[in-house]
Amino acid sequence: MTAELVSPFRLEPSFVTRIWGTVDLRPWYDFVASGDPIGEVWLTGDQCRVAEGPLAGKTLGEVFAGHSRQMLGEAAPAYAHGASPLLMKVIFAKEKLSVQVHPDDRLAQKYGQPRGKTECWYALAAEPGAEVAAGLKPGVTLEAVEAEVSAGTLEQSLEVLPVAAGDMVFVDAGTVHAIWPGSVLLETQQNSDITYRLFDYGRPRELHVAKALEAIRLHTDAGKVAPKVLADRTILVEGAYFEVAKMRVDGVRSGESMAGSNAGAPGLSYLFAAEGSGTIRPRQAGDFAPVALPKCGIVAVPASSPAWEIEDGGGLDVIRIAAHWPESVA
């Protein structure tokens, strides 16, 4: 690896406690909590550490602080440098999450945060009857939302969606939403942890009703996204901040064949093993050491990476998440 290049690297997951989570993450992760339940496995959090290689032991936040241009590429706008743009998580909900909303970039910056939170959920698995909520029913007003928060009846105004394995749900900033038990979700989002809770089922946690009402958009683009099936991949969702695609790896695939829609200007992408396992190898021997991609593991592929290929280790289905940049930070 040279000073100008940063090769692919695997990140260790971070297990984050949540009051609505579960203690046993098997078979997804070989992890049983000894204390508080785990609700989220952060795959690309700023605190996640590089597992091996030249950057081993560094947090992802430190990697971006020291290698921002190599990670993001020349196409990334100036405002994006210095920080990771995306956060990926696997969500394990044993109980209902709060009914909540996230601000867009402008509102987040009004309150001193660098960015808002647009996200999407890909269902890795779902039990019969699994549901999520994304958006408000037609005709619901902000006044009605405020009254239903006080009455504890807000659920009746939510657009409820059944969820099956393989479904993709887009949740843009300003959407009132909720995740309910019954599914395991891969969440891709802007790298922000801002949540304004409207209703929390009696839990002793802070609500943020005034800010939530300011953030809510009555009409958003949230909802299920129909997959776009191409010859070599399935596009699950395309948006201003990210593109998420699913790809089967039989034998060996080149990195170029897995590039996103911004292939003309290489950028940051992540590879998540939804099924099976594989290995990322250099196209030219010696450029970097092979990187293992276990099931439910994630590998960062920097914009400056040397040429690479991925080899199937058995039944490998990859979710490739590519960072995108909106025309502005609005």
Domains of the chain, each with CATH number or no CATH: 9-224 (2.60.120.10), 228-323 (2.60.120.10)
- Beta strand extents in 105-190 (DSSP E only): 119-126, 131-136, 158-162, 168-171, 177-179, 183-190
Q: Is the pLDDT of residue 303 over 90?
A: yes
- Taking 70 as the threshold, does the pLDDT of residue 30 lie above it? yes
Closest by alpha carbon to 253, among 184, 171, 313, 330?
313
Mean pLDDT to the nearest integer, 75-99 = 94
Angle at 122 between CA 263 and CA 174, to 5 degrees: 90
**Cβ atoms 42, 89 nearer than 8 A:** yes
What integer pLDDT is reported at residue 2 of this predicted model?
39
Alpha carbon distance 132, 128 (integer Å): 13
Residue 160 has pLDDT above 80, yes or no: yes
pLDDT category of residue 3 using cuts at 50, 70 and 90 = very low
Q: Which residues are catalytic?
A: 197
pTM over 0.85: yes
Residue type for 50, please? V
Q: What is the mean pLDDT of residues 137-152?
A: 97
Query: Which pLDDT band, with edges at 50, 70 and 90, does 4 fall under?
Result: low
- Torsion angle (degrees, nearest 10) of CA 124, 129, 130, 131: 130
